[in-house]
Amino acid sequence: MTQPVRHQRSEGAILLSMGATGLKRLREAHAAKVRLPAGGHEAILINTGGGLAGGDRFSFDITAEEDARLTLTSQAAERVYRTLGPAAEVDVRLTAKSGATLMWLPQESILFDGASLSRRITADIAADARLLAVESVILGREAMGETVHHARLRDSWRIRQSGRLIFADDLAFDGPPPATPATLGEARAFATILAVSPQAETMLDAVRAAIGPRGDASSWSGKMVARLAARDGFELRKSLIPALTVLAGCGALPKSWSF
């Protein structure tokens, strides 16, 4: 009897807690690594597996303790390769305690033809904490002649403030990238930005100006949500970086975003 083929899978996990005066706790597992540049409260996430394939599982448990400031980014764009069936799974858990500022700013996820990605982002922040989060997706690299005919994506966001659900969002497709006028149209790169802070509503006009024709933003009840779409990743960044710079305030974007 022929035995089913068991494919090698990659796993990774990060547990990181940053206090007001510096690192409190850090644990790395398997292919997930963290580097902490000297002199700042910034963490760079690294996948030593070189990308995600179907069946891979990564989790990130990130905490900004009271009055801490923590910015997380990735070393480079994350590549999601063709799957043989199961989705690559990414689980992000964010906690921002009283007076903390937590910014989740990974670089883009690049989905190749046949890729499957299931990503879940959950956050619990204190009433006086600040959160800035972004996730952006590129459907193939146009400059490399790549075309995505079929892919699966599931992005689920659940954000709570003092235990109360304040933002829930689900984005999903399975098949050809949605290309109607009400969805992506001709765009093959898109992003979602969420900002939660007392100043969120006052920054709406500046963020809309930064986004320009590539999207729009809405703000209410101490939070802002922006959607952006563009022909490719380069065009997306022309609006995404200025918008994030406005929302980050006095905190500059990580240097990896300028490469």
Cα(2)–Cα(176) distance, rounded to whole angstroms? Answer: 34
Cα(71)–Cα(17) distance, rounded to whole angstroms? Answer: 12
User: How many domains, in total, are found in the chain?
Assistant: 1
Which pTM value belongs to this model? 0.95
Per the domain annotation, does 1 fall within a domain? no
Residues in the chain: 259
- Tell me the pLDDT of the chain (259 aa) as tens digits: 555 556 678 999 999 999 999 999 999 999 999 999 977 799 999 999 999 999 999 999 999 999 999 999 999 999 999 999 899 999 999 999 999 999 999 999 999 999 999 999 999 999 999 999 999 999 998 767 788 999 999 999 999 999 999 999 999 999 999 999 889 999 999 999 999 999 999 999 999 999 999 999 999 999 999 999 999 999 999 999 999 999 998 667 888 887 6
Quote the domain boundaries for residue 30: 11-248
Per the domain annotation, does 86 fall within a domain? yes
For the chain, the straight-line distance linking the first and the last C-alpha, in angstroms and rounded, comes to 52
DSSP assignment, residue 210? Answer: H
pLDDT score for 4: 55
Per the domain annotation, does 27 fall within a domain? yes
pLDDT score for 90: 98
pLDDT score for 34: 96
pLDDT score for 258: 75
* Helices vs. strands in the chain: H and E counts, helices first: 2, 17
Per the domain annotation, does 3 fall within a domain? no
pLDDT score for 9: 87
Per the domain annotation, does 67 fall within a domain? yes
pLDDT score for 229: 97
Per the domain annotation, does 6 fall within a domain? no
Burial of 127 (0-12, 13-18, 19+ CB in 10 A): exposed
CB 56 within 8 A of CB 239: no
